[in-house]
C-alpha cells in the first residue's frame, strides 16, 4: 500500500489487532464496511471498476460463501480487479466450531470462470503471492492461515503464479506429496517420517490451485507408486479433485492416488487446529502411516 | 434545459423503440421497461453528464433493475453510444445485446439483472469518486421488488453512514413484483421513512411527470445520499398494459401493436 496509491483494503469488520497500524497510515484507503459481506463485495467491485486494486478481507467461510453470488457477478463477470482474502483457512478458527471452518472454499472458488485461486504454503509464499496478486489484474482468491504459520522455505522462495514449487526431492520419486496452503508443512514432516521408513518422498507445494500447473503436476506424479494430495479442506472439489482431474485427463501413471483432507463432514467438536487435524487423519504420523500401508500392499 | 414537450416526444419514441425490440425478439419485461421511460429519458437528456467518450469524471448510471434494459438500450442508441441498427439483434441468437444490463455494452456501467447488486456497486463507485476527488455523480435505479434483498439495505445503511452525497438512488415504485403486488407479498411501507431513518434525503414524486422529475433533481441535498421514490405504473404508456402484471412476462401481440400505433 505504500508503493502504490491505487491499492485499497476493505474488511467486513474483521482484523482487530491486525490492521490498526495500517488503518492509521492509510486511513482513506482502509475501509471497514461493517458485517456486510454481500454489499462489501459490491463496493469492492465498484472501487475496482473505478481503477483501484482492491483486497477484501474477512474469515474464509464468510469471504467466500456469504457473498458467493456477488463474487460471481460483481467481480468475476465484470472482470473487476478484486482479490478476496480468506483468513483462517480450514480449521484455523477451530475453537469456534464448524460455522467458522472453511472446508468448501477452494472448491467453490475454483468453479468460477476467470478466478485465480492461491493457497500459499507458508509466510514466505504468502508474501510473494500477495505481491504477485497485487501486480496482476483481475479477480483472485487468496486463502491464508492464521498468525504464526510454520515456515517451509528458508530464505527467499521462487514464486510464480500458476507454477508448483518443488520443496524437496525430484520428479519421478516413488512417492510424491502435493500440499497446498497450511498443509505444505505437514507434507514436509510426513516426508521426513517416510524417509525414516525407507520411502523416498518428494514434496511439492501447489500454491496456485487455479490455474493449475498441469505440466508440473504430471511430471512429478507420473511413475509414482503413491501420489497424495494434502489439504485442510474437503476432499471434494479442492486440490485433491483438481490433481485427480489432471491426472485422469493426461493419462497419469500413478499406481495409487490418495486424497488427504476432510471426508465430507462438518466437525462438531471444539479443538485446536492440531486436535481437529487428528480427528481427520491429517497429522504427519497419520498420513505417513496410511501411505506406508499402501506401500506394503504389494 | 430541455422542454417538457421535447421530453414527452422523446418518451413516446423510446416506447416505440422498446416495443419494436421486444416484439421482434419475442422477449419479456415490456411492462417493467415502460415504467422507467420518463426517468431514463430525463436522466440522459437533462441530468447526466456523460457521453460515449467516457470521460473519467463522467456521471455514472447503474440500472440495478437490469431487466428494464430495453429502455436503456433505446436511450443509449439515440444518444449515440452505439448504432441503433444493432438493436435489431436484441435477445437474438449470438447477440451481445442480452435481456439484461451487461457492462460489455458501451454506456452500461454494471452487469445487473440479478437483484440487489446495483446499489452496492454504486456505493463503491461513489466512494472511489470521493477518494479521487472526482466530481462525477453515481445514479442507481432500483426496482421496488429488488428492495426485498438484504444486500440493498446493507448498501443503504452504508451510504447513509458515509454521507455519500454524490450518490443518487431512484426507486421505480410500480407496486408490482414478480408474483403479484408488493403490498401483498412483502410490503415496503412505510417506504420513505425507512430511507430517512437510514439517513438519506428523500423525495417522492410521480415518476411519469417530467416537471416533478426535474424538480426533484433540482432539490438534491448535500451532506446525505439522495433517494427519489418514483411512483410509477407498470406498463405505463399502453392503456391495455397499465397495472397488469402478466405484461411482466408476455410479449405484446397483434392486438397490442395495433393499440400502440394509436397511443404512441
Predicted pLDDT at A94: 86
Q: What are the chain A neighbours of B123 within 8 Å (beta carbons)?
A: 39, 42-43, 46
Cross-chain CB nearest to A33 (options B126, B150, B158): B158
DSSP string, B99-113: SSB-TTSTT--S-B-
- For residue A200, the 8-state DSSP code is -
- For residue B250, the 8-state DSSP code is P
For A165-296, give the CATH class. alpha beta
Query: Residue B107 and residue A220: Cα distance in Å, rounded?
Result: 49
Chain A interface includes B111 (CB < 8 A): yes
How far is A65 from chain B, CA to nearest CA, in Å?
Answer: 14
A152, A124 Cβ separation under 8 angstroms: yes
3-state secondary structure A242-276: HHHHHHHHCCCCCCEEEEEEECCCCCCCCCCHHHH
pTM given for the model: 0.96
Residue ranges of B 146-175 with Cβ closer than 8 A to chain A: 150-151, 154-155, 157-158, 161
Query: pLDDT tens for residues B70-102?
Result: 999 999 999 999 999 999 999 999 999 999 999
Cross-chain CB nearest to A73 (options B111, B129, B161): B111
Query: pLDDT tens for residues A235-293?
Result: 999 999 999 999 999 999 999 999 999 999 999 999 999 999 999 999 999 999 999 99
Which chain A residue's Cα is nearest to B57?
Answer: A50
Enumerate the β-bridge partners of residue A226.
A175, A256
Domains along the sequence of chain B with CATH: 4-263 (3.40.50.970)
How far is A127 from chain B, CA to nearest CA, in Å?
Answer: 27
A1 band by pLDDT with thresholds 50, 70 and 90: confident
Grid cell 412505510 in the structure block, residue: B190
Report the percent of chain B where pLDDT is more than 90: 98
Half-sphere exposure of B196 (CA within 13 A, CB side): 9
The overall average pLDDT reported for chain A is: 95
Burial B197-231 (b: 16+ CB within 10 A, else e): ebbbbbbbbebbebebbbebbeebeeebbbbbbbb
- A7-144 and A165-296 have identical folds: yes
The structural domains of chain A, with segments of one domain joined by +, span 7-144, 165-296
- The least confident of A143-147, B110-114, B126-130 is A143-147
Task: State the burial class of residue A42 (Cβ atoms within 10 Å of its Cβ: 0-12, 13-18, 19+).
Answer: buried
CATH level 3 topology of A7-144: Rossmann fold (3.40.50)
All three cell numbers of A216, joined, read 508440473
The overall average pLDDT reported for chain B is: 96
Helices (H), chain A: 20-25, 37-49, 60-61, 68-70, 105-110, 123-135, 184-196, 214-221, 239-249, 273-279, 284-296
Report the percent of chain B where pLDDT is more than 70: 100
Predicted pLDDT at A16: 82
A298 band by pLDDT with thresholds 50, 70 and 90: low
ipTM: 0.95
Cβ–Cβ of B155/A39 closer than 8 Å?
A: yes
Query: pLDDT tens for residues A72-115?
Result: 999 999 999 999 999 999 999 988 999 999 999 999 999 999 99
Residue B256 has pLDDT above 70, yes or no: yes
B123, B159 Cβ separation under 8 angstroms: yes
Query: pLDDT tens for residues B20-69?
Result: 999 999 999 999 999 999 999 999 999 999 999 999 999 999 999 999 99
Q: What are the chain A neighbours of B126 within 8 Å (beta carbons)?
A: 46
Q: Give the best-scoring range by mean pLDDT among A1-5, A144-148, B111-115.
A: B111-115
A297 band by pLDDT with thresholds 50, 70 and 90: confident
How far is A259 from chain B, CA to nearest CA, in Å?
Answer: 37
Amino acid at each position: 500500500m505504500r508503493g502504490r496509491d491505487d491499492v485499497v483494503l476493505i474488511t467486513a469488520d474483521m482484523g482487530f489487532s491486525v490492521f490498526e497500524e495500517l488503518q492509521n497510515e492509510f486511513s482513506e484507503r482502509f475501509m471497514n464496511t461493517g458485517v456486510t459481506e454481500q454489499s462489501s463485495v459490491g463496493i469492492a467491485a465498484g472501487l475496482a471498476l473505478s481503477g483501484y486494486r482492491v483486497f477484501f478481507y474477512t474469515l474464509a467461510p464468510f469471504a467466500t460463501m456469504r457473498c458467493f453470488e456477488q463474487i460471481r457477478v460483481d467481480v468475476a463477470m465484470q472482470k473487476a480487479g478484486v482479490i478476496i482474502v480468506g483468513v483462517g483457512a480450514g480449521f484455523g478458527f477451530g475453537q469456534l466450531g464448524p460455522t467458522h471452518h472453511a472446508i468448501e472454499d477452494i472448491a467453490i472458488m475454483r468453479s468460477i470462470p476467470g478466478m485465480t485461486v492461491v493457497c500459499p504454503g507458508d509466510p514466505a509464499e504468502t508474501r510473494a503471492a500477495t505481491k504477485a496478486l497485487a501486480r496482476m489484474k483481475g479477480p483472485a482468491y487468496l486463502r491464508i492461515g492464521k498468525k504464526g504459520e510454520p515456515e517451509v522455505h528458508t530464505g527467499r522462495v521462487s514464486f510464480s503464479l500458476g507454477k508448483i514449487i518443488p520443496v524437496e526431492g525430484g520428479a519421478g520419486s516413488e512417492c510424491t506429496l502435493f500440499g497446498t496452503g497450511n498443509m505444505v508443512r505437514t507434507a514436509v514432516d510426513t516426508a521426513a517420517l517416510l524417509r525414516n521408513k525407507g520411502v523416498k518422498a518428494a514434496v511439492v507445494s501447489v500454491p496456485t490451485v487455479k490455474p493449475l500447473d498441469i505440466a508440473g503436476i504430471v511430471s512429478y506424479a507420473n511413475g509414482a507408486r503413491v501420489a497424495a494430495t494434502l489439504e485442510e479442506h474437503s476432499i471434494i472439489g479442492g486440490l485433491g479433485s483438481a490433481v485427480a482431474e489432471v491426472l485422469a485427463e493426461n493419462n497419469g501413471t500413478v499406481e495409487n492416488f490418495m486424497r488427504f483432507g476432510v471426508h465430507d463432514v462438518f466437525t462438531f467438536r471444539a479443538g485446536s487446529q492440531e486436535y481437529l487435524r487428528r480427528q481427520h487423519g491429517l497429522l504427519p504420523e497419520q498420513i505417513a502411516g496410511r501411505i506406508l500401508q499402501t506401500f506394503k500392499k504389494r | 434545459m430541455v422542454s417538457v414537450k421535447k421530453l414527452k416526444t422523446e418518451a413516446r419514441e423510446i416506447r416505440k423503440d422498446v416495443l419494436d425490440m421486444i416484439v421482434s425478439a419475442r422477449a419479456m419485461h415490456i411492462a417493467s421497461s415502460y415504467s422507467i421511460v420518463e426517468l431514463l429519458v430525463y436522466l440522459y437528456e437533462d441530468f447526466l453528464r456523460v457521453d460515449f467518450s467516457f470521460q473519467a469524471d463522467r456521471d455514472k448510471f447503474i440500472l440495478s433493475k437490469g431487466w428494464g434494459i430495453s429502455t436503456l438500450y433505446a436511450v443509449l442508441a439515440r444518444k449515440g453510444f452505439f448504432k441503433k441498427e444493432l438493436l435489431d439483434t436484441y435477445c437474438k441468437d449470438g447477440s451481445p445485446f442480452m435481456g439484461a444490463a451487461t457492462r460489455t455494452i458501451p454506456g452500461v456501467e454494471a452487469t445487473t439483472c440479478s437483484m440487489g447488486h446495483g446499489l452496492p456497486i454504486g456505493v463503491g463507485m461513489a466512494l472511489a469518486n470521493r477518494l479521487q476527488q472526482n466530481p462525477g455523480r453515481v445514479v442507481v435505479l432500483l426496482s421496488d421488488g429488488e428492495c426485498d434483498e438484504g444486500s440493498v439495505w446493507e448498501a443503504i445503511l452504508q451510504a447513509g453512514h458515509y454521507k455519500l452525497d454524490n450518490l443518487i438512488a431512484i426507486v421505480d415504485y410500480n407496486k408490482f413484483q414478480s408474483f403479484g403486488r408488493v403490498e401483498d407479498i412483502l410490503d415496503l411501507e412505510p417506504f420513505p421513512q425507512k430511507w430517512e431513518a437510514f439517513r438519506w434525503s428523500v423525495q417522492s414524486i410521480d415518476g411519469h411527470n417530467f416537471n416533478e422529475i426535474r424538480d426533484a433533481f433540482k432539490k438534491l441535498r448535500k451532506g446525505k445520499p439522495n433517494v427519489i421514490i418514483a411512483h410509477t405504473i407498470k406498463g405505463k404508456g399502453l392503456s391495455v398494459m397499465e397495472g397488469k402484471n402478466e405484461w411482466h412476462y408476455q410479449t405484446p401481440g397483434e392486438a397490442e401493436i395495433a393499440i400502440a400505433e394509436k397511443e404512441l
